[in-house]
Amino acid sequence: MLVLITYDVNTESNAGKTRLRKVAKQCVNHGQRVQNSVFECIMDYTQCRELQDILEKIIDKEKDSLRFYFLGNNYKSKIIHIGAKKSFDMEGPLII
Residues at the site binding a copy of itself, with contacts judged by CB under 8 A: 4, 6-8, 10, 34-38, 52, 55-56, 59-72, 77-85
Amino acid letter for position 94: L
To the question of whether residue 64 is assigned a binding role by annotation, the answer is no
CB nearer a copy of itself, residue 29 or residue 35: 35
Least Å distance between CB 3 and a copy of itself?
9
CB nearer a copy of itself, residue 80 or residue 94: 80
DSSP 74: -
For residue 18, CA distances in Å to 70, 77, 81, 84 come to 27, 36, 30, 27
Q: 69 near 7, Cβ under 8 Å?
A: no
